[in-house]
A and B are shown apart, each in its own frame.
Chain A
Amino acid sequence: MLQKVYDWVDERLDITPLWRDVADHEVPEHVNPAHHFSAFVYCFGGLTFFITVIQILSGMFLAMYYAPDIVNAWESVYYLQNQVAFGVIVRGMHHWGASLVIVMMFLHTLRVFFQGAYKKPRELNWVVGVLIFGVMLGLGFTGYLLPWDMKAVFATKVGIQIAETIPVIGPIAKTFLSSGEIIGAQTLTRFFAIHVFFLPAALLALMGAHFIMIRKQGISGPL
């Protein structure tokens, strides 16, 4: 049955080459933890991606309850955490995932760095990876404000003050981030938009590029 459906689609759209492209790539012995225990260091990149998927899914569920305005934001999070069935789990996964993804990404970066895997011909993939790191930190910074509790507002205040000290672009960055003189209603909607639309879009594009490059070049050889 499934085969019939596949053949029906394949006849019309020729999806076999596409599918073989995704499925057919070799996993060399030196990255396979089944053969060398030390190869677990190659898991960090995959785990980063795994948590990213969890972040996107849990974030979609959070958005079903969250209200991005200063009157209701805190109340909506409080309600989600205390009243909604499994709300505490969904928010917990998003909260802890945000930390874990930084840890995993950091370990992945260190693995690539210490193995010198960023060298020719993989320079571009390294640059894209560092940009992903920056986007992730941006997601962490903007997401921290959204519950609109005390720590959120004051950490953001400090963050924006720090950005403001930078000559020339500082004041522009401040206006862009806080959308005005104070951290208030517009800052929250702006951070919300950056956190759920702009940065995830950038992240997905960069990750796509990261994966296409690694498929094209293959994983770096053993040391």
Chain B
Amino acid sequence: MHRGKGMKFVGDSRVPAERKPNVPKDYSEYPGKTEAFWPNFLLKEWMVGAVFLIGYLILTVSHESPLERKADPTDAGYIPLPDWYFLFLYQLLKYKYAAGDYVLIGTIVIPGLAFGALLLAPWLDRSPERRPSRRPVATGLMLLALISITYLTWESVVTHDWNKAAQQGKIITSKVDKKDPGYEIFKGQSCIGCHGSELSGGSGPSLIGTGLKPEEIMKIARKGRGAMPANAFKGNDADLKKLATFISKQKK
């Protein structure tokens, strides 16, 4: 680089007036079949990128991204599930020694050790040896982590009730007439907590298309049935009659 006296600049700026040639480096003397990144290698890389993009688009078009019904944070019956790459952590917390009194083992000790070890790997594995077979401890621990993650994810997938999950998240287009005086009563009672604001069910079954007569519904609301507690309805008979008629009207 030109320094000191005799340097010429463009105008009053600090840009040197002398142009540098815009020529690529020569790699012919480099070892092996070294190639220039620009443009030779980048073009090849783009081909890999294009093939990948095609696969990606096929996936996108063939599997629409899921959207469940609008969030209802009061629905206590919903079984939550995180995105798939957090499943192993979620599964870990279901085991006895990583839950309850030992929950810290599952939430901080194991993940903390794993992440910390990953972060500090260069200082934990300091030998200059690079081949996996020559550093059995590092390789072994990573393989162990891989196997555990795979196993936990697998366990989480097979123990999850996918049918129920699909059911509980379904978008329901409401056919329930929310202006009906029967609905007003329904909303004010405990029923909504178990049978859902759309009457489509929650911890209790759906009340749409039960085929029950108003009298039968009145009886269930007073006396309960099976898992449904007695005296779920609080109020007078006139209101109960309205509510029961409303429910019996709901057709699929």
Q: Which residues of A contact B (CB under 8 A)?
A: 10-14, 16-17, 19-20, 22-30, 32-35, 40, 43, 46-47, 50-51, 54, 70, 74-75, 77-78, 81, 88-89, 91-100, 102, 110, 113-120, 122-123, 126-127, 130-131, 133-134, 137, 140-141, 144, 147-155, 157-159, 162-163, 165-167, 182-184, 220, 223
Size of interface on B: residues with Cβ below 8 Å to A? 82
Enumerate chain A residues within 8 angstroms of B135, measured Cβ to Cβ: 116
Q: Are A23 and B38 in contact (CB under 8 A)?
A: yes
Q: Are B34 and A140 in contact (CB under 8 A)?
A: no
Instruction: Give Cα distance in the complex from A134 to B73, angstroms.
Output: 28
Q: List 19 A-B contacts (CB under 8 A).
A: A19-B22, A24-B37, A27-B40, A40-B48, A81-B64, A92-B61, A94-B65, A99-B83, A113-B142, A120-B128, A122-B122, A144-B82, A148-B70, A148-B71, A151-B81, A155-B86, A157-B73, A165-B103, A165-B107
Q: Are B36 and A117 in contact (CB under 8 A)?
A: no
Chain A's nearest CB lies how many Å from the CB of B233? 28
Q: Name the 7 nearest CB pairs between A and B, nearest first.
A: A116-B130, A154-B80, A95-B65, A29-B32, A23-B38, A123-B122, A92-B60
Closest to A113 in B: B142
Query: Given known contacts A16-B19, A29-B34, A151-B80, is B130 in contact with A162 (CB within 8 Å)?
Result: no
Enumerate chain B residues within 8 angstroms of A11, measured Cβ to Cβ: 10, 15, 19
Query: How many pairs of A and B residues are in contact by the CB < 8 Å rule?
Result: 229
Chain A's nearest CB lies how many Å from the CB of B2? 13
Q: Are B68 and A149 in contact (CB under 8 A)?
A: yes
Enumerate chain A residues within 8 angstroms of B142, measured Cβ to Cβ: 110, 113-114
Enumerate chain B residues within 8 angstroms of A151, measured Cβ to Cβ: 66, 68, 80-81, 169
Known: A28-B32, A141-B86, A154-B81; 12 extra A-B contacts, CB below 8 A, are A23-B24, A23-B36, A27-B36, A29-B35, A35-B33, A46-B49, A74-B71, A95-B60, A114-B142, A119-B130, A133-B118, A155-B86
Query: Given known contacts A93-B56, A100-B56, is B65 in contact with A27 (CB within 8 Å)?
Result: no
Instruction: Give Cα distance in the complex from A91 to B63, angstroms.
Output: 11
Closest to B139 in A: A114
Enumerate chain B residues within 8 angstroms of A28, measured Cβ to Cβ: 30-32, 34
Chain B's nearest CB lies how many Å from the CB of A24? 5
Q: Are B35 and A32 in contact (CB under 8 A)?
A: yes
Instruction: Give Cα distance in the complex from A157 to B75, angstroms.
Output: 13
Q: Which residues of B contact A (CB under 8 A)?
A: 10, 13, 15-16, 19-22, 24-25, 27, 30-38, 40-41, 44-45, 48-49, 52-53, 56-57, 59-61, 63-73, 75, 78-86, 89-90, 93, 103-104, 107-108, 115, 118-119, 121-123, 125-126, 128-132, 135, 138-139, 142, 146, 168-169, 171
Q: Are A24 and B128 in contact (CB under 8 A)?
A: no
Chain B's nearest CB lies how many Å from the CB of A134? 8
Enumerate chain A residues within 8 angstroms of B38, measured Cβ to Cβ: 22-24
Enumerate chain A residues within 8 angstroms of B75, measured Cβ to Cβ: 150
Enumerate chain A residues within 8 angstroms of B79, measured Cβ to Cβ: 154
Query: Given known contacts A149-B70, A162-B107, is B60 in contact with A96 (CB within 8 Å)?
Result: yes
Instruction: Give Cα distance in the complex from A183 to B222, angstroms.
Output: 35
Closest to B60 in A: A92
Chain B's nearest CB lies how many Å from the CB of A5? 14
Enumerate chain B residues within 8 angstroms of A51, measured Cβ to Cβ: 56
Chain A's nearest CB lies how many Å from the CB of B243? 27
